[in-house]
Each structure stands twice: as structure tokens, then as C-alpha cells.
């Protein structure tokens, strides 16, 4: 059975990840409420909260680990500091596996 490379799902995973620049994050999401209060759907000023997937960030970090380690490290930092703080130690371990990268 032939296996597909992980990079074949990169574009799909990017739909569920914050937009990153290779040098720094384009957008800071510190103000993002993880459990927003329900809002009336009839409200004209309703703005959508972006869907962020921990699994998508993990996949993208794995994809970029070989080709763009700086970008992979940014995704791992996002996971450790914002989106999956319970496993912060694991994400830090993954960052150490990447080695020294310029940020």
C-alpha cells in the first residue's frame, strides 16, 4: 500500500492555522476568546472567530521541520504558549529536536 507524503495535506491544514510570516507572526491572537459568549445571529456586526486546530498546527510543524525550521518553530511556540498549554513540555521538546533556528 502506497503512503502519501505529509505535505499532500499542507494546504488543508493551513486553513485551520493562524497565518504566519517566516520572520514573525502577522497577527497576534492574545485577545482571542476561546469560549466566546453566544451572540444573536441577527446582529449585523457579527464577526467570525477563526477556527484554530491544534492538530493542524502539529501537522504543519512536522511538515516544515525539514524545509523551513523557523516556521515550524513558530507553530510550536503558538502551540506551547496559546493553543495547547497543557502539553507545553512536549512542544518545547519538539522545538529542541529542531535544533538551533534563527527566529
Farthest-apart Cα atoms in the chain, separation: 51
- Which among 17, 12, 23 has a CA at the least distance from the CA of 82? 17
The radius of gyration of the chain's CA atoms, rounded to the nearest angstrom, is 16
pLDDT of residue 28: 42
For the whole model, what pTM was predicted?
0.60
- Supply the pLDDT for residue 65: 92
**Cα dihedral angle (30, 94, 84, 41), rounded to 10 degrees?**
70
Give 20's strand partners: 25
- Confidence (pLDDT) at 45: 58
10-residue mean pLDDT series, the chain (103 residues): 80 80 47 51 59 90 91 92 94 88 50
- pLDDT score for 29: 41
Determine the pLDDT at residue 3.
84
Q: What is the pLDDT of residue 81?
A: 93
User: Measured at the alpha carbon of residue 15, what is the angle toward residues 88 and 36, in degrees to the nearest 5?
Assistant: 65
Amino acid at each position: 500500500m502506497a503512503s502519501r507524503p505529509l505535505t499532500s495535506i499542507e494546504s488543508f491544514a493551513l486553513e485551520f492555522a493562524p497565518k504566519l510570516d517566516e520572520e514573525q507572526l502577522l497577527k497576534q491572537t492574545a485577545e482571542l476568546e476561546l469560549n466566546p459568549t453566544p451572540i444573536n445571529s441577527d446582529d449585523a456586526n457579527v464577526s467570525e472567530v477563526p477556527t484554530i486546530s491544534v492538530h493542524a498546527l502539529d501537522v504543519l510543524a512536522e511538515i516544515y521541520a525539514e524545509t523551513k525550521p523557523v516556521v515550524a518553530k513558530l507553530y510550536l511556540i503558538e502551540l506551547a504558549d496559546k493553543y495547547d498549554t497543557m502539553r507545553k513540555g512536549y512542544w518545547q521538546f519538539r522545538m529542541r529536536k529542531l535544533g538551533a533556528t534563527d527566529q
